C-alpha cells in the first residue's frame, strides 16, 4: 500500500465577509457570495504548514513500460514561437497561466 502525502499552507491573513462568512485570500470590495459591498474584514490566521498521511486512499503503481507515450492532441497557435514555448501547443483540459499579478504563479 502506498500512502499519499498531502499538505496545506495557510496565509497569515484572510478576509471574511461579515454578512455571509465567505473566506477570501484577498480583500474584495464586493462579496462574490452574497454580493454585499464593503463587508470583508481582515482576520489573522496563524501561519503554519500541516502534513498528513491520507491512509484512506490507496495509490496504484504502474510500470513505465505500460505507460502510453503517444503524442497527445494539442491546440496550435498561429505563431510557431508560441507553439515551441508551450511544448507544441496547448493540451485540452490543461490550465496554463500566461499572465497575472506578480507572485500568482
Give the predicted TM-score (pTM) of the model.
0.36
Q: What contacts 77, CB < 8 A, 6 or more positions away?
A: 83, 86, 89, 90
4-62 tens-digit pLDDT: 554 455 557 788 999 998 888 888 899 988 989 999 998 887 655 555 555 666 778 88
Site of grid cell 496550435: 76
30 three-class SS: strand
Site of grid cell 505563431: 79
Contact 33, 22 (CB under 8 A): yes
66-100 tens-digit pLDDT: 877 676 788 898 999 988 988 888 888 887 777 88
Domains of the chain, residue spans:
9-49, 72-96
Nearest partner of 58 among 97, 14, 2, judged by Cα:
2
Amino acid at each position: 500500500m502506498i500512502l499519499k502525502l498531502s499538505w496545506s499552507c495557510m496565509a497569515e491573513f484572510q478576509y471574511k465577509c461579515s454578512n455571509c462568512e465567505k473566506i477570501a485570500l484577498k480583500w474584495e470590495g464586493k462579496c462574490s457570495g452574497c454580493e454585499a459591498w464593503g463587508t470583508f474584514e481582515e482576520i489573522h490566521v496563524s501561519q503554519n504548514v500541516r502534513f498528513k498521511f491520507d491512509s484512506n486512499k490507496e495509490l496504484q503503481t504502474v510500470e513505465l513500460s505500460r505507460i502510453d507515450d503517444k503524442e497527445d492532441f494539442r491546440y496550435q497557435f498561429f505563431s510557431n514561437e508560441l507553439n515551441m514555448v508551450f511544448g507544441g501547443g496547448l493540451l485540452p483540459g490543461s490550465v496554463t497561466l500566461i499572465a497575472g499579478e506578480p507572485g500568482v504563479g
